[in-house]
Structure 1
Amino acid sequence: MYIKGIEVRGSILDDETRCSHYHSDKDRIAIRFYCCGIYYPCYQCHEEHGCAETKVWPKTQFGEKGILCGSCKQELTIAEYLNCHSVCPECGAEFNPGCNLHKHLYFDV
C-alpha cells in the first residue's frame, strides 16, 4: 500500500495503517524500520513480511523521520513520536498508548 507516496508493507487492513495484528480505533501508525528503511504497522508485520534482520533505531538517530501517522499521513521524527503522549502532534489523532509496551522493539530506549 502507498500512503502519500510512501510504501507501507504488512498485513494492512485500511488506509490508516491498521493491520491484522493491531486494529483498534487508535492503531494508526506505521514505523519505518531502521534495518530496512521500510514502513510496517507493527513488529509482527515486519517479522512476517520484512527483511529478517531487525535492528532498532539508535538514540543518535531519533531526529530522523520514522513514524507515519495514519490519520493525517504526516511523517514524524522518532523523538516527536516518543514525546507525543499518544497524540499526533500534527493532527491531534490519538495513538494506542499500549504501543509504549513495544517501543524497545523499535527504538534504543
Structure 2
Amino acid sequence: MASRIPVKGLDVDEETRCRHYHSEIDRIAIKFYCCGQYYACFACHQATGCGKPKVWPAGSFDQKAVLCGGCGHELSVTEYLQCQSTCPNCAASFNPGCSLHKHLYFA
C-alpha cells in the first residue's frame, strides 16, 4: 500500500483487506468517527477498536474518512459516497457491496 497511514484490524494486508473482507476489490479502510482510527471494517473495529462505535454525522461528510488501499489516497465521506466504487486518484475498484453497510459508518 502506498499509504503510511496505519490500518487496524484482524489480518490486515497491504491493501487494507482483512479476515472478514478479502476479495480483490475489498481495498478500503474506514476512519471511525468515535476514535479517529482507520479500521479495515466494522467487524475489525468491533474486535479490536474502542468499543464505542459512532457513525459519521452528516455535517462532517467533508472530512477525510475513507482510505484507498490501492494508493493510500484519503477520500472525504462525500467523495467516497459519490465515487461509484472507484478511487478518484488511482482508479482502483472498490467493492460496490460496501454500500450495503454504509449505515454502520455514515449517518
* 1:65 partner amino acid: K
- SS of 2:84 mapped into structure 1: coil
Q: Give the superposition deviation at 1:7.
A: 1.7
Task: Tell me the TM-score normalized by structure 1.
Answer: 0.94
Query: In structure 2, what is the equivalent of residue 53 of structure 1?
Result: 52
Q: CA RMSD in A?
A: 1.3
With a CA cutoff of 8 Å and minimum separation of 6, indicate the structure with the bigger relative contact order.
2
Gaps of 5+ in 2: none
Distance, in Å, in 1 between the alignment partners of 2:101 and 2:80 is 13
- SS of 2:25 mapped into structure 1: coil
Distance, in Å, in 2 between the alignment partners of 1:51 and 1:14 is 21
Contact 1:12 1:41 (8 Å CA) reproduced: no
* 2:5 partner amino acid: I
Query: In structure 1, what is the equivalent of residue 98 of structure 2?
Result: 99
Task: Tell me the TM-score normalized by structure 2.
Answer: 0.96
Instruction: Count how many residue pairs are aligned between Structure 1 and Structure 2.
Output: 107
After TM superposition, list the pairs within 5 Å mapping 1:22-101 onto structure 2: 22-101=21-100
Q: Give the superposition deviation at 1:3.
A: 6.4
Gaps of 5+ in 1: none
- SS of 1:76 mapped into structure 2: strand
Distance, in Å, in 2 between the alignment partners of 1:68 and 1:94 is 13
Distance, in Å, in 2 between the alignment partners of 1:93 and 1:105 is 23
